[in-house]
Structure 1
Amino acid sequence: MYLTTTEEATEGRVDVVIENFTGHPKSIFDAVEDGVYDAGFSVNAYIPGRFSLTGVAEIPGEISGAESGSVALWKTYEEYFADAGEYDGLKLLGLFVHGPGQLHAKFSVNDLSDFEGKKVRLGGGMVNVLAERLHVTPVGAPAPKSYEMMQQGVVDATFLPVQEQKFFRLSELSSDLVLFPKGLYTTAMSIIMNEDFFADLSEEDQAAIMSVSGEKLSRLAGAAWGAADDAGILEAKEKGVNVVFLSPGDKLVQDMNKLTAGIDDIWMESVADRDVDAKAALAAFRKHVAEETK
């Protein structure tokens, strides 16, 4: 949709061509910055330390949907993070999060103790703090490696949005899909463009691209992830996966909430060197999420 909208906004002067990227997703940022590609998107946590501010959207228990989280992140970025310099060398077009990350496992969970000692694939970011508190053995790897790692027994589970039951075919390997009301975490991602490419465009085309970017693009990306999660649940049910829908009052959820308490403070401490009002930014993010989920 965004590709078509971009071409329409520029009246066909900017043509968008999708190319398959075969390297590690973390290198997309450098590839765009160096002009190997004109634009791209990737996971912020794949480059630890560079995009720490967007970790505000990765704190467990903050969002219940990808669209609301994506819009809230973009608004918070514009209000508090834009001048912090994390995107120096890149033209930021949009920010989004995937749907709440859930547990895709080859084991059942009835108590937090069932996590202990299990090997779990993680993508990085604030979820690492949760993993430490759950006493799991974290195995860092990009999301697309999940199927291979579960199939080969390298990991017992992966934390990912529900859509991956279908798109990464995790329904073939998972015995259980455990859905927490607000997930276990989420992941912030950036849509970026090469600065020189953007600067070489006419002012008219620059304005046209930005008219369909920013909050609009962030909302569009978040909504797409949310719809894909619905398809993931259907796929899991069709393949016979034990889909567990937890409620806020369930003991497992309440115990998880206690376990994650204070991770927001850890995020604020992690961005203390960024010269932003992290406490105010977190409050703004929560306000925007609440507004978007009414």
Structure 2
Amino acid sequence: MLSAAALTLGLGVSAAASAETTLIVGTWQPPGNPMNSVVWPTWAGWVEEATEGRVKVKIEQDVGHPKTYFQLVEDGVINAGWSYHGYGPGRFKLPVAVELPGLNVSAEAASVALWKVQQKYFADAGEYEGLTLLATLTHGPGQIHSIDPVESLADLKGKKVRIGGGVQTELAERMDVTGVAAPGSKVYEMMQQGVIDGVFMPITEQKSLRLHEVAPNLTVLPGGMYLGSFSMFIDPYFLEDLDPKDAEAILSVSGEKLSALAGRAWDQADVEGLEAARAAGVTVKELGPNDPMTLEFGELIKGMDDAWVESVADRDVDARAALAELRQIAREYEAQKQE
């Protein structure tokens, strides 16, 4: 027969176990993508440590099309997730500031700068209404992965190129390429079948998406053509249902800290992607700042800053000041990293 003390202890253990909460994170992209191999698992560990084990994180793969993740979290289907701002055209106009060509910094520097500018300039615009923002991030510089060599931008004219939205859409129009919209997960198959002639993506995808098998040419512009911007977010109602100290703990390991981690992971993935490309025999053409194609690209992008400022005129923010500060923060961060 159980003693009263033993029964009390048993009930205490049962209550502690039932107090544990599982936080369901939805993710996409292949397992080798830095978000899945580094960022979400690391954050999961931070959350469990910060909440002393009261919140356990479970990561679920491919719970829907990448563009649906904003809605999936808003609807409570999953508790947290991430997505590309280009998948929400019209809704996420402000983060596109970090995607504009000419920033010439690492993904880590860009991610931190976007987080800070989001908090200072963009938060009141309500683009993340229905979500609580955990982090902002970018992938590394977008480059040209192609079946045929690219000697000048004219070589891309009329070619079918997969684009992911955001600044890529504007670049595709200016380059006079035929933009093909498709999720990143479909690019390998589309290249293999000849549906597209190339893709604008960061170098990491030479390894993560195995583009080295289907894109024998990689053209690398200094600083890249653009950055792709993403966000990580959580259901505010999920946070409200937690003990306030646990909700606060989760947010304490997010924000700038998580943004920096994510950007750093993408930077490292680019290093590994370039190594994979070279090991596979991909022709890597690294352009210098004064190469004709680099100068040609510089002419091509003139006016894009003004176009972005005009596109966010309905957001009631000081867009020019925000863009200038974002670039200042990013470049100073990058300089400090290199000291």
Identity of aligned residues (%): 52
Give the counterpart letter for 2:151 in structure 1.
N
Measure, in 1, the Cα distance between the counterparts of 2:74 and 2:186: 25
Give the counterpart letter for 2:177 in structure 1.
V
Deviations 1:73-113 (A, max 9, x none): 10110110011110110011100000011111001111121
Give the counterpart letter for 1:134 in structure 2.
M
Deviations 1:212-231 (A, max 9, x none): 11100000000000000000
CA drift at 1:142: 1.1
Alignment partner, residue 311 of structure 2: 270
Contact kept, 8 Å, 2:161 with 2:178, in 1: the verdict is: yes
Deviations 1:260-291 (A, max 9, x none): 11111111111000010001000111111111
Matching of residue 233 in structure 1 with residue 274 in structure 2: yes
Contact kept, 8 Å, 1:60 with 1:127, in 2: the verdict is: no
Measure, in 1, the Cα distance between the counterparts of 2:137 and 2:276: 24
Contact kept, 8 Å, 1:116 with 1:136, in 2: the verdict is: yes
CA drift at 1:61: 2.1
Alignment partner, residue 100 of structure 1: 141
Deviations 1:143-168 (A, max 9, x none): 11110110111100011110100010
CA drift at 1:63: 3.3
Alignment partner, residue 80 of structure 1: 121
Measure, in 2, the Cα distance between the counterparts of 1:168 and 1:136: 22
Alignment partner, residue 204 of structure 1: 245
CA drift at 1:62: 1.6
Q: Which ranges of 4 or more aligned residues in structure 1 deviate by more than 6 Å? A: none
Where in structure 2 are the equivalents of 1:46-57 lying within 5 Å? 46-57=87-98
Task: Tell me which of the two structures has the higher relative contact order, counting C-alpha pairs closer than 8 angstroms and 6 or more residues apart.
Answer: 1
State the SS of the aligned residue for 1:30. helix
Alignment partner, residue 236 of structure 2: 195
Instruction: Choose the corresponding residue for 1:173, options 202, 207, 214.
Output: 214
State the SS of the aligned residue for 2:56. coil
Deviations 1:10-47 (A, max 9, x none): 11111111101242100011000000000000101101
Give the counterpart letter for 1:135 in structure 2.
D
Where in structure 2 are the equivalents of 1:1-294 lying within 5 Å? 1-294=42-335
Measure, in 2, the Cα distance between the counterparts of 1:282 and 1:242: 35
Measure, in 2, the Cα distance between the counterparts of 1:63 and 1:247: 13
Measure, in 2, the Cα distance between the counterparts of 1:10 and 1:263: 44
State the SS of the aligned residue for 2:95. helix
Structure 1 unpaired stretches of 5+: none
Measure, in 1, the Cα distance between the counterparts of 2:149 and 2:208: 22
State the SS of the aligned residue for 2:155. helix
Structure 2 unpaired stretches of 5+: 1-41
Measure, in 2, the Cα distance between the counterparts of 1:61 and 1:108: 24
Contact kept, 8 Å, 1:99 with 1:229, in 2: the verdict is: yes
Q: Which has the larger radius of gyration?
A: 2
Contact kept, 8 Å, 2:104 with 2:222, in 1: the verdict is: no
State the SS of the aligned residue for 1:293. helix
Aligned residues: CA RMSD: 0.8
Measure, in 1, the Cα distance between the counterparts of 2:63 and 2:180: 21
Give the counterpart letter for 2:318 in structure 1.
D
State the SS of the aligned residue for 1:82. helix
State the SS of the aligned residue for 2:203. coil
Measure, in 2, the Cα distance between the counterparts of 1:42 and 1:14: 23
Measure, in 2, the Cα distance between the counterparts of 1:40 and 1:266: 30
Measure, in 2, the Cα distance between the counterparts of 1:54 and 1:11: 34
Residue correspondences, number: 294
Contact kept, 8 Å, 2:105 with 2:331, in 1: the verdict is: no
User: Structure 2 length normalisation: TM-score?
Assistant: 0.85
